[in-house]
Protein backbone atom coordinates (compact mmCIF):
# COMPACT_ATOMS: atom_id res chain seq x y z
CA UNK A 1 0.00 0.00 0.00
CA UNK A 2 1.39 3.41 -0.93
CA UNK A 3 2.26 5.86 1.84
CA UNK A 4 -0.34 8.31 0.50
CA UNK A 5 -3.06 5.64 0.55
CA UNK A 6 -2.10 4.53 4.05
CA UNK A 7 -2.13 8.10 5.32
CA UNK A 8 -5.53 8.72 3.73
CA UNK A 9 -6.97 5.60 5.37
CA UNK A 10 -5.74 6.66 8.76
CA UNK A 11 -7.03 10.19 8.40
CA UNK A 12 -10.03 11.37 10.38
CA UNK A 13 -12.52 12.57 7.76
CA UNK A 14 -15.13 13.79 10.24
CA UNK A 15 -14.37 17.44 9.38
CA UNK A 16 -15.74 16.79 5.88
CA UNK A 17 -19.41 17.75 5.86
CA UNK A 18 -21.88 19.04 3.29
CA UNK A 19 -22.92 18.11 -0.25
CA UNK A 20 -21.38 20.42 -2.84
CA UNK A 21 -22.64 20.97 -6.38
CA UNK A 22 -20.32 22.58 -8.92
CA UNK A 23 -22.53 24.94 -10.91
CA UNK A 24 -21.87 24.79 -14.63
CA UNK A 25 -22.64 27.71 -16.91
CA UNK A 26 -21.57 29.26 -20.15
CA UNK A 27 -20.84 32.96 -19.78
CA UNK A 28 -23.31 33.28 -16.92
CA UNK A 29 -26.05 31.13 -18.41
CA UNK A 30 -26.52 28.08 -16.20
CA UNK A 31 -26.73 24.57 -17.57
CA UNK A 32 -29.93 22.85 -16.49
CA UNK A 33 -27.91 19.96 -15.08
CA UNK A 34 -26.72 22.29 -12.31
CA UNK A 35 -30.26 22.83 -11.06
CA UNK A 36 -31.04 19.14 -11.48
CA UNK A 37 -28.02 18.29 -9.33
CA UNK A 38 -29.11 20.81 -6.70
CA UNK A 39 -32.52 19.06 -6.65
CA UNK A 40 -30.90 15.66 -6.07
CA UNK A 41 -28.25 17.13 -3.78
CA UNK A 42 -31.02 18.58 -1.60
CA UNK A 43 -32.37 15.05 -0.96
CA UNK A 44 -28.90 13.71 -0.14
CA UNK A 45 -28.10 16.63 2.16
CA UNK A 46 -31.42 16.29 3.99
CA UNK A 47 -30.86 12.56 4.47
CA UNK A 48 -27.38 13.28 5.88
CA UNK A 49 -28.72 16.23 7.93
CA UNK A 50 -26.11 18.49 6.42
CA UNK A 51 -25.94 21.59 4.21
CA UNK A 52 -26.33 21.77 0.46
CA UNK A 53 -23.48 23.86 -0.95
CA UNK A 54 -22.98 25.32 -4.42
CA UNK A 55 -19.70 26.40 -5.97
CA UNK A 56 -19.98 29.09 -8.65
CA UNK A 57 -16.84 30.05 -10.59
CA UNK A 58 -16.83 32.70 -13.33
CA UNK A 59 -16.96 36.41 -14.00
CA UNK A 60 -20.02 38.58 -13.27
CA UNK A 61 -21.98 35.59 -12.02
CA UNK A 62 -23.57 36.88 -8.78
CA UNK A 63 -26.96 36.10 -10.31
CA UNK A 64 -26.00 32.41 -10.38
CA UNK A 65 -25.39 32.50 -6.63
CA UNK A 66 -28.90 33.88 -6.09
CA UNK A 67 -30.36 31.33 -8.50
CA UNK A 68 -28.54 28.47 -6.76
CA UNK A 69 -30.24 29.45 -3.51
CA UNK A 70 -33.63 29.55 -5.22
CA UNK A 71 -32.94 26.04 -6.53
CA UNK A 72 -32.17 24.65 -3.08
CA UNK A 73 -28.62 25.57 -1.97
CA UNK A 74 -28.09 26.63 1.66
CA UNK A 75 -24.75 28.29 1.03
CA UNK A 76 -23.03 29.39 -2.18
CA UNK A 77 -19.29 29.82 -2.57
CA UNK A 78 -18.66 32.40 -5.27
CA UNK A 79 -15.29 32.86 -6.93
CA UNK A 80 -15.08 35.57 -9.57
CA UNK A 81 -12.33 37.07 -11.74
CA UNK A 82 -12.13 38.30 -15.34
CA UNK A 83 -9.76 35.37 -16.18
CA UNK A 84 -12.54 32.98 -15.09
CA UNK A 85 -15.02 34.25 -17.70
CA UNK A 86 -14.66 31.10 -19.83
CA UNK A 87 -14.01 27.55 -18.70
CA UNK A 88 -10.39 26.43 -18.88
CA UNK A 89 -9.20 23.26 -17.16
CA UNK A 90 -6.30 24.67 -15.17
CA UNK A 91 -7.80 27.80 -13.63
CA UNK A 92 -11.15 26.15 -12.87
CA UNK A 93 -9.59 23.00 -11.42
CA UNK A 94 -7.18 25.05 -9.27
CA UNK A 95 -10.04 27.17 -7.91
CA UNK A 96 -12.14 24.08 -7.29
CA UNK A 97 -9.29 22.25 -5.55
CA UNK A 98 -8.58 25.16 -3.29
CA UNK A 99 -12.31 25.43 -2.48
CA UNK A 100 -12.48 21.71 -1.66
CA UNK A 101 -9.45 21.99 0.65
CA UNK A 102 -10.99 25.01 2.39
CA UNK A 103 -14.66 23.95 2.57
CA UNK A 104 -14.13 20.20 3.05
CA UNK A 105 -17.38 18.88 1.58
CA UNK A 106 -18.05 15.15 2.04
CA UNK A 107 -19.63 14.84 -1.43
CA UNK A 108 -18.90 16.82 -4.63
CA UNK A 109 -21.13 16.42 -7.69
CA UNK A 110 -20.51 17.65 -11.24
CA UNK A 111 -22.62 17.41 -14.39
CA UNK A 112 -21.50 14.62 -16.73
CA UNK A 113 -21.13 17.16 -19.53
CA UNK A 114 -17.99 17.74 -21.59
CA UNK A 115 -16.93 20.47 -19.14
CA UNK A 116 -17.99 18.63 -15.99
CA UNK A 117 -16.17 15.47 -17.03
CA UNK A 118 -13.01 17.42 -17.83
CA UNK A 119 -13.10 19.36 -14.56
CA UNK A 120 -13.94 16.40 -12.31
CA UNK A 121 -11.24 14.27 -13.93
CA UNK A 122 -8.62 16.99 -13.47
CA UNK A 123 -9.56 17.42 -9.79
CA UNK A 124 -9.60 13.67 -9.12
CA UNK A 125 -5.97 13.40 -10.22
CA UNK A 126 -4.98 15.83 -7.45
CA UNK A 127 -6.97 14.32 -4.58
CA UNK A 128 -6.51 10.94 -2.93
CA UNK A 129 -10.08 10.03 -3.80
CA UNK A 130 -12.09 8.34 -6.53
CA UNK A 131 -14.57 9.62 -9.09
CA UNK A 132 -17.64 7.73 -10.24
CA UNK A 133 -18.46 8.90 -13.75
CA UNK A 134 -21.81 9.22 -15.52
CA UNK A 135 -24.09 8.28 -12.63
CA UNK A 136 -27.80 7.80 -13.18
CA UNK A 137 -28.78 7.14 -9.52
CA UNK A 138 -27.47 8.65 -6.31
CA UNK A 139 -28.27 7.85 -2.71
CA UNK A 140 -26.58 7.98 0.68
CA UNK A 141 -26.30 5.69 3.65
CA UNK A 142 -27.01 7.96 6.60
CA UNK A 143 -25.10 7.78 9.90
CA UNK A 144 -22.64 6.45 10.70
CA UNK A 145 -21.06 5.64 7.32
CA UNK A 146 -22.43 8.68 5.38
CA UNK A 147 -21.44 6.86 2.18
CA UNK A 148 -22.46 8.07 -1.24
CA UNK A 149 -23.97 5.24 -3.27
CA UNK A 150 -23.24 6.26 -6.86
CA UNK A 151 -24.86 4.01 -9.46
CA UNK A 152 -24.24 3.85 -13.17
CA UNK A 153 -24.83 1.41 -16.03
CA UNK A 154 -21.91 -1.00 -16.50
CA UNK A 155 -20.88 -3.90 -18.75
CA UNK A 156 -22.29 -2.43 -21.99
CA UNK A 157 -25.26 -1.02 -20.09
CA UNK A 158 -26.44 -4.54 -19.13
CA UNK A 159 -26.13 -4.04 -15.35
CA UNK A 160 -26.21 -1.25 -12.80
CA UNK A 161 -23.08 -0.94 -10.65
CA UNK A 162 -23.17 0.89 -7.30
CA UNK A 163 -19.79 2.33 -6.43
CA UNK A 164 -18.68 3.38 -2.94
CA UNK A 165 -15.69 5.40 -1.87
CA UNK A 166 -15.18 4.17 1.67
CA UNK A 167 -11.84 5.53 2.76
CA UNK A 168 -11.40 8.93 1.20
CA UNK A 169 -13.14 12.28 1.18
CA UNK A 170 -14.66 13.99 -0.63
CA UNK A 171 -16.67 11.34 -2.47
CA UNK A 172 -17.04 12.55 -6.04
CA UNK A 173 -19.32 11.75 -8.95
CA UNK A 174 -20.44 13.15 -12.26
CA UNK A 175 -24.13 12.68 -13.04
CA UNK A 176 -25.91 12.68 -16.36
CA UNK A 177 -28.01 15.63 -17.43
CA UNK A 178 -31.74 15.04 -17.55
CA UNK A 179 -31.74 12.18 -15.03
CA UNK A 180 -32.54 14.14 -11.89
CA UNK A 181 -35.31 16.61 -11.31
CA UNK A 182 -34.69 20.23 -10.40
CA UNK A 183 -36.79 21.72 -7.60
CA UNK A 184 -39.22 24.46 -8.59
CA UNK A 185 -37.23 27.68 -7.96
CA UNK A 186 -38.42 29.36 -4.78
CA UNK A 187 -37.98 33.17 -4.93
CA UNK A 188 -38.56 33.41 -1.15
CA UNK A 189 -35.70 31.05 -0.26
CA UNK A 190 -32.75 32.61 1.53
CA UNK A 191 -29.18 31.44 1.88
CA UNK A 192 -25.64 32.59 2.48
CA UNK A 193 -23.16 33.73 -0.18
CA UNK A 194 -19.47 33.38 0.69
CA UNK A 195 -16.93 35.10 -1.57
CA UNK A 196 -13.78 33.10 -2.25
CA UNK A 197 -10.54 34.83 -3.08
CA UNK A 198 -8.72 34.12 -6.33
CA UNK A 199 -5.26 33.24 -5.08
CA UNK A 200 -3.39 32.82 -8.36
CA UNK A 201 -2.90 34.81 -11.54
CA UNK A 202 -4.41 32.83 -14.40
CA UNK A 203 -3.84 35.39 -17.14
CA UNK A 204 -0.75 33.58 -18.47
CA UNK A 205 -2.06 30.01 -18.29
CA UNK A 206 -0.94 27.93 -21.29
CA UNK A 207 -4.48 27.47 -22.63
CA UNK A 208 -5.99 30.79 -23.70
CA UNK A 209 -9.44 31.50 -25.07
CA UNK A 210 -8.87 33.29 -28.39
CA UNK A 211 -12.52 33.74 -29.35
CA UNK A 212 -15.94 32.61 -28.22
CA UNK A 213 -17.92 31.35 -31.20
CA UNK A 214 -21.46 30.30 -30.53
CA UNK A 215 -22.55 27.33 -32.59
CA UNK A 216 -26.18 27.99 -33.32
CA UNK A 217 -26.92 24.78 -35.19
CA UNK A 218 -25.81 22.28 -32.56
CA UNK A 219 -28.38 19.96 -30.99
CA UNK A 220 -29.09 20.74 -27.38
CA UNK A 221 -31.51 18.08 -26.23
CA UNK A 222 -30.74 18.26 -22.52
CA UNK A 223 -31.60 21.97 -22.36
CA UNK A 224 -34.66 21.82 -24.63
CA UNK A 225 -38.12 22.51 -23.19
CA UNK A 226 -39.80 20.88 -26.18
CA UNK A 227 -38.61 17.78 -28.05
CA UNK A 228 -40.25 16.23 -31.09
CA UNK A 229 -38.81 12.73 -31.49
CA UNK A 230 -39.23 10.23 -34.25
CA UNK A 231 -38.65 6.52 -34.73
CA UNK A 232 -38.79 3.81 -37.35
CA UNK A 233 -42.42 4.71 -38.04
CA UNK A 234 -41.16 7.80 -39.93
CA UNK A 235 -40.13 5.42 -42.72
CA UNK A 236 -36.98 7.30 -43.78
CA UNK A 237 -34.88 10.45 -43.54
CA UNK A 238 -37.66 12.47 -45.25
CA UNK A 239 -39.92 11.71 -42.29
CA UNK A 240 -37.55 13.77 -40.13
CA UNK A 241 -38.12 16.81 -42.36
CA UNK A 242 -41.72 16.69 -41.19
CA UNK A 243 -40.61 16.51 -37.55
CA UNK A 244 -38.18 19.39 -38.06
CA UNK A 245 -41.08 21.49 -39.31
CA UNK A 246 -43.10 20.68 -36.20
CA UNK A 247 -40.08 21.34 -33.95
CA UNK A 248 -39.60 24.69 -35.65
CA UNK A 249 -43.16 25.92 -35.13
CA UNK A 250 -42.97 24.80 -31.49
CA UNK A 251 -39.45 26.17 -30.92
CA UNK A 252 -38.15 22.74 -29.95
CA UNK A 253 -35.42 20.23 -30.82
CA UNK A 254 -35.61 16.99 -32.80
CA UNK A 255 -34.87 13.68 -31.07
CA UNK A 256 -34.74 10.12 -32.39
CA UNK A 257 -34.72 6.47 -31.44
CA UNK A 258 -31.71 4.27 -31.97
CA UNK A 259 -33.57 2.44 -34.75
CA UNK A 260 -33.82 5.68 -36.72
CA UNK A 261 -30.17 6.54 -35.98
CA UNK A 262 -28.95 3.05 -36.93
CA UNK A 263 -30.90 3.30 -40.19
CA UNK A 264 -28.87 6.43 -40.98
CA UNK A 265 -31.92 8.73 -41.10
CA UNK A 266 -30.48 11.13 -38.50
CA UNK A 267 -27.20 11.52 -36.60
CA UNK A 268 -26.41 9.96 -33.25
CA UNK A 269 -26.34 13.32 -31.45
CA UNK A 270 -30.16 13.23 -31.70
CA UNK A 271 -30.50 9.79 -30.04
CA UNK A 272 -32.47 9.55 -26.83
CA UNK A 273 -32.36 6.60 -24.50
CA UNK A 274 -30.04 4.25 -22.72
CA UNK A 275 -27.18 4.75 -25.17
CA UNK A 276 -28.16 8.31 -26.10
CA UNK A 277 -29.25 11.42 -24.22
CA UNK A 278 -31.44 11.45 -21.13
CA UNK A 279 -33.95 14.28 -21.42
CA UNK A 280 -36.59 15.87 -19.25
CA UNK A 281 -38.38 18.50 -21.38
CA UNK A 282 -41.71 20.12 -20.57
CA UNK A 283 -43.20 18.53 -23.70
CA UNK A 284 -42.10 15.36 -25.52
CA UNK A 285 -43.85 14.36 -28.72
CA UNK A 286 -43.03 10.76 -29.76
CA UNK A 287 -43.95 10.01 -33.36
CA UNK A 288 -43.68 6.49 -34.78
CA UNK A 289 -41.89 5.25 -31.67
CA UNK A 290 -42.90 1.89 -30.18
CA UNK A 291 -41.74 2.64 -26.63
CA UNK A 292 -38.94 0.10 -26.03
CA UNK A 293 -37.55 0.39 -22.51
CA UNK A 294 -34.12 1.40 -23.85
CA UNK A 295 -35.81 4.46 -25.36
CA UNK A 296 -38.26 5.32 -22.58
CA UNK A 297 -35.53 5.25 -19.92
CA UNK A 298 -34.18 8.38 -21.59
CA UNK A 299 -37.42 10.38 -21.78
CA UNK A 300 -39.92 9.11 -19.21
CA UNK A 301 -39.16 12.03 -16.88
CA UNK A 302 -40.68 14.49 -19.39
CA UNK A 303 -43.47 16.62 -17.90
CA UNK A 304 -45.98 15.91 -20.69
CA UNK A 305 -45.65 13.08 -23.22
CA UNK A 306 -47.76 12.98 -26.38
CA UNK A 307 -47.44 9.77 -28.39
CA UNK A 308 -48.49 9.33 -32.01
CA UNK A 309 -48.59 5.70 -33.14
CA UNK A 310 -50.79 3.77 -35.55
CA UNK A 311 -50.74 0.72 -33.25
CA UNK A 312 -53.17 1.31 -30.34
CA UNK A 313 -51.29 -1.40 -28.36
CA UNK A 314 -47.90 0.28 -28.71
CA UNK A 315 -46.11 0.30 -25.29
CA UNK A 316 -45.39 4.04 -25.61
CA UNK A 317 -49.08 4.67 -24.86
CA UNK A 318 -48.55 3.24 -21.35
CA UNK A 319 -46.35 6.17 -20.37
CA UNK A 320 -47.97 8.84 -22.58
CA UNK A 321 -50.17 11.50 -21.00
CA UNK A 322 -51.93 12.03 -24.35
CA UNK A 323 -52.31 9.21 -26.89
CA UNK A 324 -52.96 9.85 -30.56
CA UNK A 325 -53.65 6.50 -32.23
CA UNK A 326 -53.35 7.00 -35.97
CA UNK A 327 -51.11 7.64 -38.93
CA UNK A 328 -48.39 10.14 -38.10
CA UNK A 329 -48.34 11.33 -41.71
CA UNK A 330 -51.85 12.69 -41.14
CA UNK A 331 -51.50 13.78 -37.52
CA UNK A 332 -48.13 15.60 -37.65
CA UNK A 333 -49.05 17.87 -40.63
CA UNK A 334 -52.33 18.70 -38.86
CA UNK A 335 -50.38 19.64 -35.70
CA UNK A 336 -47.97 21.78 -37.74
CA UNK A 337 -50.90 23.64 -39.37
CA UNK A 338 -52.66 24.17 -36.04
CA UNK A 339 -49.57 25.35 -34.10
CA UNK A 340 -48.49 27.60 -36.99
CA UNK A 341 -51.96 29.23 -36.97
CA UNK A 342 -51.74 29.85 -33.21
CA UNK A 343 -48.26 31.30 -33.54
CA UNK A 344 -49.72 33.75 -36.06
P1 LIG B 1 -39.88 0.25 -33.61
O2 LIG B 1 -39.79 -0.51 -32.35
O3 LIG B 1 -39.77 -0.53 -34.87
O4 LIG B 1 -41.25 1.05 -33.60
C5 LIG B 1 -41.78 1.76 -34.68
C6 LIG B 1 -43.18 2.21 -34.29
O7 LIG B 1 -43.70 3.05 -35.30
C8 LIG B 1 -44.17 1.05 -34.14
O9 LIG B 1 -44.77 1.10 -32.86
C10 LIG B 1 -45.21 1.31 -35.22
O11 LIG B 1 -46.54 0.97 -34.83
C12 LIG B 1 -45.10 2.79 -35.42
N13 LIG B 1 -45.49 3.25 -36.78
C14 LIG B 1 -45.14 2.74 -37.98
N15 LIG B 1 -45.66 3.47 -38.99
C16 LIG B 1 -46.39 4.46 -38.40
C17 LIG B 1 -47.19 5.54 -38.91
N18 LIG B 1 -47.31 5.75 -40.23
N19 LIG B 1 -47.80 6.34 -38.04
C20 LIG B 1 -47.69 6.16 -36.68
N21 LIG B 1 -46.93 5.14 -36.15
C22 LIG B 1 -46.29 4.33 -37.00
N23 LIG B 1 -33.27 2.58 -28.51
C24 LIG B 1 -33.36 3.92 -28.35
O25 LIG B 1 -34.29 4.58 -28.83
N26 LIG B 1 -32.40 4.59 -27.64
C27 LIG B 1 -31.36 3.97 -27.07
O28 LIG B 1 -30.51 4.65 -26.47
C29 LIG B 1 -31.25 2.56 -27.21
N30 LIG B 1 -30.23 1.87 -26.63
C31 LIG B 1 -30.21 0.52 -26.73
C32 LIG B 1 -29.20 -0.19 -26.04
C33 LIG B 1 -29.16 -1.57 -26.13
C34 LIG B 1 -28.07 -2.30 -25.38
C35 LIG B 1 -30.12 -2.26 -26.89
C36 LIG B 1 -30.10 -3.74 -26.98
C37 LIG B 1 -31.12 -1.58 -27.57
C38 LIG B 1 -31.18 -0.17 -27.52
N39 LIG B 1 -32.16 0.56 -28.18
C40 LIG B 1 -32.25 1.89 -27.98
C41 LIG B 1 -33.08 -0.07 -29.18
C42 LIG B 1 -34.46 -0.36 -28.61
O43 LIG B 1 -34.45 -1.62 -28.01
C44 LIG B 1 -35.51 -0.36 -29.75
O45 LIG B 1 -35.12 -1.29 -30.74
C46 LIG B 1 -35.71 1.00 -30.41
O47 LIG B 1 -35.94 1.99 -29.44
C48 LIG B 1 -36.95 0.92 -31.33
O49 LIG B 1 -37.04 2.11 -32.05
P50 LIG B 1 -38.43 2.55 -32.72
O51 LIG B 1 -39.46 2.73 -31.66
O52 LIG B 1 -38.09 3.71 -33.60
O53 LIG B 1 -38.78 1.35 -33.71
What mean pLDDT is predicted for residues 219-223? 87
- Asked whether residue 217 carries a pLDDT value surpassing 60, the answer given is no
Q: What is the pTM of this model?
A: 0.73
111 in contact with ligand 1, CB cutoff 6 A:
no
Closest CA to 180 of 53, 278, 54, 293: 278
Residue in 264, 309, 320 to alter for ligand 1 test, most ligand atoms within 8 A of Cβ: 309
The lowest-confidence range among 6-10, 89-93, 102-106, 118-122 is: 6-10
Reported as a single tens digit per residue, the pLDDT across 118-148 is 999 999 999 989 999 999 999 999 878 899 9
Reported as a single tens digit per residue, the pLDDT across 243-258 is 999 999 999 999 999 9
Q: Determine the atom of ligand 1 nearest the C-alpha atom of 157.
A: 34
Strand 148-154 to strand 137-140: parallel, antiparallel, or no bridges (unpaired)? antiparallel
What mean pLDDT is predicted for residues 296-304? 94
Q: Which residue puts its alpha carbon closest to atom 11 of ligand 1?
A: 311
pLDDT of 330 reads: 97
- Asked whether residue 12 carries a pLDDT value surpassing 90, the answer given is no
The answer to whether residues 54 and 21 touch, using CB atoms and an 8 Å cutoff, is yes
Distance (angstroms) between ligand 1 centre and the Cα of 236 equals 13
Reported as a single tens digit per residue, the pLDDT across 59-73 is 999 999 999 999 999
Q: Where are the beta strands (DSSP E) in the chain?
A: 19-23, 25-26, 29-30, 52-58, 75-80, 107-111, 131-135, 137-140, 148-154, 159-163, 171-175, 192-195, 226-230, 253-256, 283-287, 304-309, 322-325
What mean pLDDT is predicted for residues 87-100? 96
Which has more confidence, 4 or 176? Answer: 176
Distance (angstroms) between ligand 1 centre and the Cα of 276 equals 13
Reported as a single tens digit per residue, the pLDDT across 36-54 is 999 999 999 999 999 999 9
Which has more confidence, 64 or 2? Answer: 64
Task: For residues 275 and 33, give the distance between their C-alpha atoms in angstroms, rounded to a whole number.
Answer: 18
The answer to whether residues 303 and 322 touch, using CB atoms and an 8 Å cutoff, is no
- Asked whether residue 157 carries a pLDDT value surpassing 70, the answer given is no
What mean pLDDT is predicted for residues 145-165? 88
In the chain, % of residues over pLDDT 90: 81
Distance (angstroms) between ligand 1 centre and the Cα of 136 equals 22
123 in contact with ligand 1, CB cutoff 6 A:
no
Task: For residues 181 and 39, give the distance between their C-alpha atoms in angstroms, rounded to a whole number.
Answer: 6
Reported as a single tens digit per residue, the pLDDT across 179-202 is 899 999 999 999 999 999 998 888
Kindly indicate the confidence band of residue 219, based on its pLDDT and cuts at 50, 70 and 90. Answer: confident
Amino acid sequence: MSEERKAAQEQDWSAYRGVMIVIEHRRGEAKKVSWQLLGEGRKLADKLETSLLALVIGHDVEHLAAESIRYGADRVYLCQAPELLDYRTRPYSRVCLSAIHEIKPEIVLYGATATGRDLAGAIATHLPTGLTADCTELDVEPHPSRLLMASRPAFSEKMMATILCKQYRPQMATARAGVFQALAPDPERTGEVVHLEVREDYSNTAAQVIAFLEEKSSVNLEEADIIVAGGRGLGGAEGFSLLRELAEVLGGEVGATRAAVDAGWITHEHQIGQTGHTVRPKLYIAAGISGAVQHTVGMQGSDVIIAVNKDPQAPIFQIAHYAMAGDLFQIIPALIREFAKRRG
